Amino acid sequence: MPDGLNILIMGATYGSLLASKLILAGHSCTMVCLPDEADVINSDGLRLRIPVKGRDGLLDVHPTSAPGAGSVSAVGPDQASPSDYDLVVLAMQEPQYRLPGVRDLLARKAASGTPAMSIMNMPPLPYLARLPGIDVNALRDCFADPAVWDEFDPDLMTLASPDPQAFKPPEEPLNLLQVTLPTNFKVAAFANPDHTAMLRRIEADILNVRFDTGNGMVELPVKLKVHQSLYVPLAKWAMLLTGNYRCITPDGPQAIRDAVHGDLEQSAQLYDWVKGVCVGLGADPGDLVPFEKYANAASNLLKPSSAARALYGGAPFIERVDRLVQTLARSRGESHAMLDKTVSLVEDQLAQNRAAPDAA
């Protein structure tokens, strides 16, 4: 068996889900994170709590303890050298890349020539530049700091649709992630076939993992699925705008389930409209997820989205997929009243947050 890959993951919250899968598959991960997170990861590794088909409750997984597992370590942004790795994974929320230290690390990544895979909800500008017919300059205002992406080579960037849902329980250690929706990461091919071959190797390695529960071997959910189409990762947009961003209401945050199921007919109409925007950009309808499948999954999402929690927690910036899709649609002469309402709600709340005396 060939030696495992060395992978740098920027972000230890959502990034720890993919890292756990990579480690179980025999690859080694370095997590870029805050000092408190780094201390726990370096002393205890990562912990994953995940539902498994056919089992009651959640399965606790300690990835580095499994036979054949890779290793994990954690560092601060100033300690990471992207050129030392086979792949860089962008797993922070988009506004975090504007912060000192992280911004510098991103610049080193751009200069390194190392391929990068984003698992952000917000597609990085270099990935959008790979989509034919899109004027990325018209999208810059949708980003917290678009200049951080200026030196990136689009051919070295790909995007995975972050479909799996997970959170860190506040009462648990910082290295534990709990999965609520164990679906798959769907990643588009790189421009370079050799880089795509690396993704396909990771795909196969994760698929072949079996985990010993003590009562038998099980296949763990959450895979990486490689697709040739650049548009497959855009399937998340309809989910985000129908569920995650509609958690944002004039009265505060609501659960994703309530946002979707409060008015299923209205949700289906918005969902299909966003799918239509993606098809207009070049997606094949078969690249996208039917509303019924998403609505069924959303029925188990009992918490507000991270975007809603951050917005009503006072964040001065959040990821603006809502504004991105609105801008792309308007460039094609299209609009949707529900989306426009959401964008206005977000803009108004962000303005309040930025005007607060303690705004970051």
Which amino acid appears at position 38 of this protein?
Answer: A
| Rounded percentage of the chain residues whose pLDDT exceeds 90 | 95
Task: Output the CA angle 145-149-154, nearest 5 degrees.
Answer: 150
pLDDT score of 2? 58
Average model confidence (pLDDT) across the chain:
96
Q: What is the DSSP string of 156-187?
A: GEEEEE---EEE--TTS-TTEEEEEE---EEE
pLDDT score of 40? 97
Task: Output the CA angle 234-81-36, nearest 5 degrees.
Answer: 80
Return the residue matching tokens 């490689």: 226
Asked if 27 and 7 count as a contact pair (C-beta separation under 8 A), the reply is yes
214-269 residue pLDDT tens:
889 999 999 999 999 999 999 999 999 999 999 999 999 999 999 999 999 999 99
pLDDT score of 214? 87
Q: Give, to the nearest 10 degrees, the angle between helix 321-331 and helix 337-355.
A: 130
Find the mean pLDDT for residues 64-71: 96
Which amino acid appears at position 147 of this protein?
Answer: A
Residue 360: pLDDT above 70? no
Residue 251 has phi, psi (to 5 degrees) of -100, 10
Residue 104: pLDDT above 50? yes
Q: How confident is the model at residue 116 (pLDDT cuts 50, 70, 90)?
A: very high
Rg (CA), the chain: 20
Which amino acid appears at position 257 of this protein?
Answer: R
Number of H helices, E strands in the chain: 12, 16
> If you ran DSSP here, which 8-state letter would residue 251 be given?
T
Residue 1: pLDDT above 80? no
Find the mean pLDDT for residues 286-290: 93
Contacts of 315 (CB under 8 A, 6+ apart): 95, 350, 353
pLDDT score of 337? 98
Residue 185: pLDDT above 90? yes
pLDDT score of 22? 98
Q: How confident is the model at residue 275 (pLDDT cuts 50, 70, 90)?
A: very high
pLDDT score of 357? 87
Residue 110: pLDDT above 80? yes
pTM of the entire predicted model: 0.95
Using the CB atoms, write b or e for 290-320: b if 16+ within 10 Å.
Answer: ebeebbebbeebebbbbbbbbbbeebbbbbb
| Rounded percentage of the chain residues whose pLDDT exceeds 70 | 99
How do 116-118 and 157-161 pair as beta strands?
parallel
71-102 residue pLDDT tens:
999 999 999 999 999 999 999 999 999 999 99
314-351 residue pLDDT tens:
999 999 999 999 999 999 999 999 999 999 999 999 99
